[in-house]
Amino acid sequence: MAAYLDNAATSFPKPSNVIESMTTFMALNGATSGRGAYQKALLSDQLVFQARSKIARFFNHSDPKTVVFTKNVTEAINIALKGFLKSGDQVITSSVEHNAVWRCLKMLEKNEGICINVVPADKNGQTTAESVEHALTSKTKLIIFNHASNVLGTIQPIQAIGEIANLRRIPLMVDTAQTAGHFPIDMLNSHIDILAFTGHKGLMGPMGVGGLVLSPDLNIEPLISGGTGGDSAYPYQPDYYPNHLEAGTLNVPGIVGLSSGIDFINETGLERIHSKIKMLYNYTVDQLNTIPSIELYGPIDAQKTVGVIPFNLKGYPPEEIAFYLDQQHHVMIRAGLHCAPSAHQLMGTIERGACRIGLGYYNSKEDIDQLVIGLRQYLKSKRVSSCI
Ligand SMILES: Cc1ncc(COP(=O)(O)O)c(C=O)c1O
């Protein structure tokens, strides 16, 4: 049996209701949304609106109309940052951001002259709300943080940061790529003004769909312009959400799949998913610690992380380990820098990178046992080859 342990990249397998709803839509409907007035097109409109409503409820947000669909969280982040920040604005971020945020900010710094104020994280990738408070200035236009690092798994104190942001009337934007669907997120309570999500990880949907959930009073300039299916004589992008930020045909099959992914999470129970991943996290750490040359990174505390476990075997290249595990033991993990070089700076692995386990709801203890057997065999094969 294959052990898929790369859920931080994308979740696999997908729940059967996700596959069924997408197949049914593709086979029996297939119409665009927001365009036609025939029955199939109206059904597509309804399915898309239902998806917006479910997403809004899922994140405790009151207005489905400000749920904007994109193709992934990277696009969502680009739309929000490039549409909101202007020349001379200052933005506060963490030192453990994914390149989806970091490269977007660097581009804005280069092209628009925004100022990036990076709040340092400790070696486990943890930042504090106090350091965010200290970094605030009169020019701060936005605070943008990931909810959890995709390299270290470390969960940031979003609620406390949200309280500070709210007191100072500065919008808070959160990249929820690693937490949505695994960890409860409450936009209202945590004072999140811009939530960026991706559909294909913990939310259990397919690749190709993500989005933004926005406070209605924020003015975000569209990144792309084009048809929205209405107001066609008006020469500009409509100024109301979601059409303001949604030009072009939506990925309706993907949205239908994401909607079913959220049904799956609601029916299973977010708390149950969260508990299972915590249990697997503890089991994995315990098992990995039985391997003498293991190097584990991050807080190593199930309360402080999502199901992401970075590790190395002392003296061996991570890419070789991942390749061996896949070829010899059908165990799939990631190796490299995982699109977040600053997290590797903290871990001291910027030169060699690290292996990464990404746990998901469908993983079992057997998957971890298979991984550990593979790692032991890898070390054994190395010892044998060094004696030849
Ligand atoms: C924290 C974080 N942000 C952004 C992304 C980018 O996600 P996507 O490729 O779905 O846009 C990822 C994906 O690994 C991530 O973990």
pLDDT digit string, tens, across residues 160-190: 999 999 999 999 999 999 999 999 999 999 9
Quick check: 242 and 214 in contact, CB under 8 A? no
Instruction: Give the residue extent of every domain in the chain.
Output: 16-268, 269-387
- Tokens (6 digits) for 201: 């990880």
Q: How far is the CA of 73 from the centre of ligand 1 (A)?
A: 6
**Terminal Cα distance for the chain, rounded:** 32
Q: How far is the CA of 149 from the centre of ligand 1 (A)?
A: 10
User: Does position 71 have pLDDT exceeding 90, yes or no?
Assistant: yes
Q: How far is the CA of 207 from the centre of ligand 1 (A)?
A: 11
- Residue 343 CB burial class (10 angstroms; 0-12, 13-18, ≥19): buried
Res. 388 pLDDT band, cuts 50 70 90: low
Q: How far is the CA of 321 from the centre of ligand 1 (A)?
A: 24
Which has the higher per-residue pLDDT, 349 or 272? 272
* Nearest alpha-carbon partner for 254 in 21, 80, 78, 13: 21
Res. 348 pLDDT band, cuts 50 70 90: confident
- Residue 37 CB burial class (10 angstroms; 0-12, 13-18, ≥19): exposed
User: Does position 338 have pLDDT exceeding 90, yes or no?
Assistant: no
- Tokens (6 digits) for 64: 């489905």
- Span 325-329, average pLDDT: 98
339: left (phi over 0), alpha (psi -120 to 50) or beta: left
User: Does position 258 have pLDDT exceeding 70, yes or no?
Assistant: yes
Q: In this structure, which long-range contacts are made by residues 281-286, counting pairs with CB atoms below 8 Å and at least 24 apart in sequence? A: 281/305, 281/307, 281/309, 281/359, 283/365, 283/368, 284/309, 284/357, 284/359, 284/368, 284/371, 285/309
Q: Whose CA is nearest to atom 14 of ligand 1?
A: 9
What is the crossing angle of helices 39-58 and 252-268, to 10°?
Answer: 40
Residues with CB under 6 A from ligand 1: 9, 72-74, 98, 100, 146, 150, 175, 177-178, 198, 210
Determine the number of helices (DSSP H) and then strands (DSSP E) in the chain.
11, 13
Looking at residue 385, its pLDDT comes to 75
- Residue 200 CB burial class (10 angstroms; 0-12, 13-18, ≥19): buried
Q: Do domains 16-268 and 269-387 have the same CATH topology?
A: no
CATH 3.90.1150.10 fits 269-387, yes or no: yes
Which has the higher per-residue pLDDT, 7 or 342? 7
In the numeric block, the tokens 């084009």 are attached to 226
Amino acid (one-letter) located at 2? A
CATH architecture of 16-268: 3-Layer(aba) Sandwich (3.40)
User: Does position 384 have pLDDT exceeding 80, yes or no?
Assistant: no
Atom of ligand 1 nearest to the CA of 146: 1
pTM above 0.85, yes or no: yes
Would you give the distance in Å from CA 345 to the centre of its chain? 21
Q: How far is the CA of 74 from the centre of ligand 1 (A)?
A: 6
Atom of ligand 1 nearest to the CA of 207: 10
Res. 387 pLDDT band, cuts 50 70 90: low
Atom of ligand 1 nearest to the CA of 339: 14
Q: How far is the CA of 291 from the centre of ligand 1 (A)?
A: 30
- Tokens (6 digits) for 193: 């003004």
The mean pLDDT value of the chain amounts to 96
Give percent of the chain with pLDDT exceeding 70: 99
Looking at residue 32, its pLDDT comes to 96
